[in-house]
């Protein structure tokens, strides 16, 4: 409702700020729904399962776990902020009275109410009645009308005769009429105060929500990179022979070929250890001693981590051994054959998700294969 504050009948009018408040509330609800969906994806979607594909305890595993934790915390903080924005705090006309004390409120509420009072005075030409240029004058007039109604009611209770009661009743009627004409102006100011309070809360929260949202996205991106990438830099692509060589003739002296020790690796690693380099040196010496032979590399992993991670790990281990033989050891590449067997044909049969040192290895086997010009 809107009316002149001092005279005239009240004219019904819709709340001019209702649509604006509804739009703000819809925006906050949309933000809350978005962050809730992100939290659900982190908890129940692919990120958690992606973490399980990495070998536990590796730097990539710790880094991915930290990134996922940071993303989840940022999302939860943003969700708390957006839900807090939807709380319904009552706003009273006494809160807007510039002469009213705010000692009962905490520091943040006192600052918020003081800002509301300044905002109303700054928009006095749009919010306040024409004959009240400031909020203080409007509140003073409202208190005077209320006091007049209180005085008339007291006079009615104190009247001793009919004439005095009639006069008091007339004063009450006049005071009520004046309050009714003044009420719409107060309602308009209060509605504006509620809208501005909500708007300012959202405006202050938006930078925090933006930072938390960006931080969550960056953390999730880092998590995705760590899950997709191996914990070591992959070596340059090299031609790998996964085909097995033809069987040696029955008359070939297979029994005379020496057995070679496997090349062992640490969990989740593809770097040659001192023991692995020693095994490679013995294999290189055996190839030189037996020029009519070739070397089979069986690259294995244990059953810890996922199939995709182990497939890449078996390939890197095979590449490391082949590189040590060919590029560094001078063995002809045509004499080295690779078979990548992650989690399959294992030297030691184990259950899934079980570490085993014997399975973290590249097995070396000499086979008789007559060739010309080998070295």
Q: Report the candidate in 56, 130, 135 with the shortest Cα–Cα distance to residue 94.
A: 135
- Cβ–Cβ contacts within 10 Å for residue 361, how many? 25
Once rounded to an integer, what is the mean pLDDT over residues 171-194?
86
As beta bridge partners, residue 363 has: 298
Same domain, 223 and 77: yes
pTM exceeding the 0.75 threshold for the entire prediction = no
- Cβ–Cβ contacts within 10 Å for residue 274, how many? 6
Q: Is residue 363 part of a domain?
A: yes
End-of-domain residue from the set 228, 263, 287:
228
Q: Report the candidate in 141, 155, 97 with the shortest Cα–Cα distance to residue 121.
A: 97
> Mind listing the pLDDT tens digit for each residue in 322-366?
888 887 768 888 888 888 887 777 887 777 777 788 888 898 888
- Please compute, for residue 195, the number of CA atoms within 13 A of its CA located in the half-sphere on the CB side: 18
The confidence score (pLDDT) of residue 16 equals: 75
> Mind listing the pLDDT tens digit for each residue in 119-149?
888 888 888 888 888 888 888 888 888 888 8
Query: Scanning the structure block, which residue is given the tokens 């005077």?
Result: 144
Same domain, 72 and 113: yes
The confidence score (pLDDT) of residue 231 equals: 45
End-of-domain residue from the set 228, 245, 267:
228
Q: Give the Cα separation of 220 and 68 in Å (integer).
A: 6
- Cβ–Cβ contacts within 10 Å for residue 219, how many? 21
The confidence score (pLDDT) of residue 45 equals: 55
Decide if pLDDT at 317 tops 60: yes
Who has greater pLDDT, 276 or 5?
276
User: Which residues form the domain of 108?
Assistant: 18-228
Same domain, 208 and 270: no
Same domain, 196 and 338: no
Same domain, 68 and 207: yes
Same domain, 218 and 287: no
Decide if pLDDT at 270 tops 50: yes
Who has greater pLDDT, 222 or 247?
222
The confidence score (pLDDT) of residue 237 equals: 44
- Give the percent of the chain with pLDDT over 70: 83
The confidence score (pLDDT) of residue 49 equals: 57
Once rounded to an integer, what is the mean pLDDT over residues 95-110?
79
Same domain, 200 and 293: no
CATH number for the domain including 314? 3.30.1330.60
The confidence score (pLDDT) of residue 240 equals: 47
pLDDT averaged over every residue in the chain: 79
Residues in Cβ contact with 26 at an 8 Å cutoff, skipping those fewer than 6 apart: none
> 164 to each of 27, 213, 260, how far by Cα in Å?
58, 70, 123
- Model confidence band, residue 76 (pLDDT cutoffs 50, 70, 90): confident
- Model confidence band, residue 248 (pLDDT cutoffs 50, 70, 90): very low
Once rounded to an integer, what is the mean pLDDT over residues 43-51?
59
Q: Report the phi/psi class of residue 54: left, alpha or beta, with left for phi > 0 and alpha for psi in -120 to 50.
A: beta
Give the 3-state secondary structure of residue 361.
strand
Same domain, 278 and 177: no
Q: State the pairing for strand pair 361-368/293-301.
A: antiparallel
Who has greater pLDDT, 42 or 344?
344
Decide if pLDDT at 87 tops 50: yes
- The dihedral built from the CA positions of residue 174, 176, 180 and 186, taken in this order, carries a sign that is positive
Q: Give the Cα separation of 294 and 373 in Å (integer).
A: 13
Same domain, 205 and 304: no
Q: Is 330 exposed, middle or buried (0-12, 13-18, 19+ CB in 10 A)?
A: exposed
- Please compute, for residue 307, the number of CA atoms within 13 A of its CA located in the half-sphere on the CB side: 1
Per DSSP, the residues of 223-265 read HHHHHHS-SSPPPPP-----SPPPPPPTTS-GGGSPP---EE-
Per DSSP, the residues of 135-152 read HHHHHHHHHHHHHHHHHH
The confidence score (pLDDT) of residue 51 equals: 64
- As given in the structure block, the two tokens for residue 132 are 């009240």
Same domain, 137 and 189: yes
- Model confidence band, residue 14 (pLDDT cutoffs 50, 70, 90): low
Give the 3-state secondary structure of residue 348.
coil
Decide if pLDDT at 178 tops 50: yes
Who has greater pLDDT, 348 or 216?
216
Same domain, 269 and 311: yes
**What's the structural domain count of the chain?**
2
């Amino acid at each position: 409702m809107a009316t002149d504050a001092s005279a005239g009948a009240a004219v019904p009018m819709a709340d001019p700020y209702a649509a604006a408040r509804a739009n703000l509330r819809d925006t906050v609800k949309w933000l809350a729904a978005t962050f809730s969906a992100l939290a659900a994806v982190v908890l129940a979607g692919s990120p958690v399962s992606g973490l399980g594909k990495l070998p536990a305890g590796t730097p990539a595993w710790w880094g991915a776990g930290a990134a996922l934790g940071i993303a989840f915390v940022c999302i939860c903080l943003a969700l708390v902020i957006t839900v807090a924005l939807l709380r319904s705090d009552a706003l009273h006309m006494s809160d807007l009275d510039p002469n009213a004390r705010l000692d009962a409120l905490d520091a943040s509420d006192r600052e918020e109410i003081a800002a509301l009072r300044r905002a109303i005075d700054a928009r006095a030409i749009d919010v306040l009645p024409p004959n009240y240029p400031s909020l203080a004058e409007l509140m003073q007039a409202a208190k005077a009308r209320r006091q007049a109604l209180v005085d008339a009611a007291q006079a009615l209770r104190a009247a001793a005769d009919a004439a005095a009661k009639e006069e008091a009743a007339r004063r009450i009627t006049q005071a009520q009429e004046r309050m009714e004409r003044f009420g719409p102006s107060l309602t308009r100011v209060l509605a504006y105060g509620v809208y501005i309070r909500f708007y300012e809360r959202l405006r202050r929260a938006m930078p925090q929500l933006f930072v938390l949202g960006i931080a969550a996205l960056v953390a999730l991106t880092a998590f995705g990179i760590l899950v997709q990438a191996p914990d070591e830099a992959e070596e340059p692509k090299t031609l790998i022979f996964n085909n097995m060589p033809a069987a040696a003739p029955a008359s070939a002296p297979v029994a005379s070929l020496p057995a070679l020790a496997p090349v062992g690796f640490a969990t989740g690693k593809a770097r040659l250890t001192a023991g692995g380099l020693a095994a490679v040196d013995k294999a290189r010496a055996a190839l030189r001693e037996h020029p009519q032979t070739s070397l089979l590399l069986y690259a294995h992993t244990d059953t810890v981590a996922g199939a995709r991670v182990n497939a890449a790990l078996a390939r890197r281990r095979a590449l490391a051994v082949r590189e040590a033989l060919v590029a560094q050891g001078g063995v002809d590449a045509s004499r080295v054959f690779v078979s990548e067997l992650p989690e399959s044909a294992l030297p030691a049969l184990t259950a899934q998700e079980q570490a085993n040192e014997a399975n973290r290895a590249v097995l070396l086997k000499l086979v008789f294969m007559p060739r010309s010009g080998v070295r």
